[in-house]
Structure 1
Amino acid sequence: MQSIPVDTARLGVLRCAIAPEAKISNSETQEVKKDRDGNTIYTVAVTVRQDRRRISVIEIAVAGEPRGVEEGQIVKVTGLVAFAWSMGDRHGISFRADAITPVSGAPAQVKGGGA
């Protein structure tokens, strides 16, 4: 599988849509997926909005828990790569990153929005 580096500077604002969750490798046993070094793989759903266009959501896998990342928070994604995959008649693109970190001074959006 070929990895394709992604220039995150061209993706606009990246915002956490779903907080980090451990990736499950076996839904029957609830076994958590690990990398070659034994680190738990987490997934984070991130919204991408370029040039005031509509928002897309991508799910990014990362080894180790991204600390301090909360829903609604602007995040920095380091070392993002895309992988094209296919299984039978299904195909898609998956994303992996070296790290996902919160952007300092960029608070998460308030949920509910009422007083």
Structure 2
Amino acid sequence: MQSIPVDTARLGVLRCAIAPEAKIVNPETKEVRKDRDGNTIYTVAVTVRQDGRRISVIEITVAGEPKGIEEGQILKVSGLTAFLWQMGERHGVSFRADSISPTIVPPVKGGGTG
């Protein structure tokens, strides 16, 4: 599997589309996927908005539960890597990050209407 580092600064605005969910290995037993250190693997659906109105959604996996992330928040993604994969005739790109956290946006001063 080929890994490609991704420069998140070039991706534009990253926003949480679906809050973190534990990645399930077996739907029947509800067993969750763990990394080699025993941390639960989570998936976060993230919208990427680069130029104007064009938006893509990618799913990013991360070891350990990302804290404080809610749908709609702008995110900071560190250590993002893309992995090219192929299984038989199927192929695609998956994404993994070292960490995902909410971006703290300072309140707008004087933004009141009254």
TM over 0.5: yes
Q: State the match for 2:57 in structure 1.
A: 57
RMSD: 1.3
Cα deviation, residue 28, structure 1: 2.1
Gaps of 5+ in 1: 108-115
Does the CA contact (< 8 Å) of 1:23 and 1:42 recur in 2? Answer: yes
Q: Which residue does the alignment assign to 1:22? A: 22
Alignment coverage as a number of residue pairs: 107
Q: Distance in 1 between matches of 2:2 and 2:53?
A: 28
Equivalent residue number for residue 90 of structure 2: 90
Match for 1:68: what amino acid?
G
Structure label with greater radius of gyration = 2
Amino acid at match of 1:76: K
Q: TM-score, normalised by structure 1?
A: 0.89
Report the equivalent of 2:31: 31
Q: 2:70 maps to what in 1? A: 70
Deviations 1:58-108 (A, max 9, x none): 00000000000100000000000000111111110000000000001269x
- The CA deviation string for residues 9-58 of structure 1, in whole angstroms up to 9 with x for no partner, is 00000000000000001122111000000000000000001021410000
**CA distance, structure 2, for counterparts of residue 23 and residue 101 of structure 1:** 18
Distance 2:93 2:50 in 1: 19
Calculate the TM-score normalised by the size of structure 2: 0.90
Letter in 1 for 2:37: D
